Structure 1
């Protein structure tokens, strides 16, 4: 099957489109864009800039992908957006490309769900299997690791890292790094313990849960300042044996 492009859509000559791609009505594709096999643009989707999109992604109406950063320091640099495979972008999602102060790239890996109205700012790094509920906003340079759920109407300030298997409650304001496996909620958000529901759903066994709980409590009792990135790196090191077994790769 060849790709299907609706006659009302505009596609610039620089766009590379794979097999079985569907471009619905009134889409605009303008830039150095690559779209992988099996990806679908429902309708009214805008993709611009230096944007690479993998296979089997779905973009719903009025999503704006690869747009200029909302950053006063952005001066038109030739930056990038990279998207992996099997992601879903619901209506009105906006994703900005990178800036020179953030490595020139915004990146999204695989199997993420971005619900209606989510905003991913410049230079964010998003790993795999994450869920962003309606109207979540990420500031620039935010790192989201794996299997994270962020509740609706939540905002994450710039340069924050959110650890794997954590859950952010709805309407939260995140201004500090969040431990792996944690439940955090509030404005400003505070840790409320382990994300036990998420941990169990991801098939952690009893021994693993007990180990996670022990490590988690030891750091909480020490009252470590989670706004300090080097402290968070030390915390992540404590979890690596569990994370690596589950995720199959080293987490920073």
Structure 2
């Protein structure tokens, strides 16, 4: 325990826990023996961190959140699985991040600079990359993989083993049962592609020419006739020199437990209107 750490007298810190410099542990927090808190971690109050848990520098955890507790997996029998929370992430009230399971890769990972809002749940063996935002009441089943700069709207549920590519936006209250291509936008119960995350692309400085290429590739993949494998090959032939299109194609071709989220016919006119705006 670093001498600069501040620990409220009502907090319980088990022997063996590693508490870094500048940490602040508030009232009624409970810290397990195999927990490591990086520099400047703040646990506001009533926070419980257990198991083999590594909390990165500058993480802040709000009251009644829990990190590293048992996975909701009936096959789990106390094996030494882990949870890692990256530097600068914020975990808000009542959020839960469970440790990994032996049926997965043994670790649940939340990357740096994420925001896990009130009452969100990150299930066992999930992987969240940089700058992921889960709004209030989002539910991630086990083994979900979410890439960089994804926003998941409030109340959305993501089925176990789903992959979500980078810079995706998931509409609030959606039920996502299949993989979502990078830069896509999905909505609905059950969720369907509604187009590209055009607002996110513009905000992050993608040039107009590349956005135009992405739109053309999206149309080639999801809005033309013929077998899907043929459309993938045609899209590669037409746009495969663009690195962002190659990223989407690689995502489509990767191994998947859940298949691919496709565009619903009822969404096509909405996608055109959004693009023109």
TM (norm. structure 2) is: 0.81
The residue aligned with 1:248 is none
**Is the CA contact 1:24–1:42 (under 8 Å) kept in the aligned structure 2?**
yes
The residue aligned with 1:67 is 69
Secondary structure of 1:100's counterpart equals coil
Secondary structure of 1:216's counterpart equals helix
Query: How far 1:148 moved relative to its partner?
Result: 0.4
Query: How far 1:152 moved relative to its partner?
Result: 0.3
1:1-252 aligned at under 5 Å gives the runs: 2-221=4-223, 224=228, 241-242=243-244
**Is the CA contact 1:212–1:239 (under 8 Å) kept in the aligned structure 2?**
no
Alignment RMSD, CA only? 2.3
**Distance in 1 separating the partners of 2:135 and 2:242:** 27
Query: How far 1:221 moved relative to its partner?
Result: 3.1
- With over 3 angstroms needed to count, the CA separation of the structure-2 counterparts of 1:100 and 1:192, relative to structure 1, is same
Please say which structure displays the higher CA radius of gyration: 2
TM (norm. structure 1) is: 0.88
- For structure 1, the 5+ residue unaligned runs are 226-233, 246-251
Query: How far 1:243 moved relative to its partner?
Result: 8.9
**Distance in 2 separating the partners of 1:218 and 1:9:** 58
**Distance in 1 separating the partners of 2:207 and 2:219:** 18
Query: How far 1:180 moved relative to its partner?
Result: 0.9
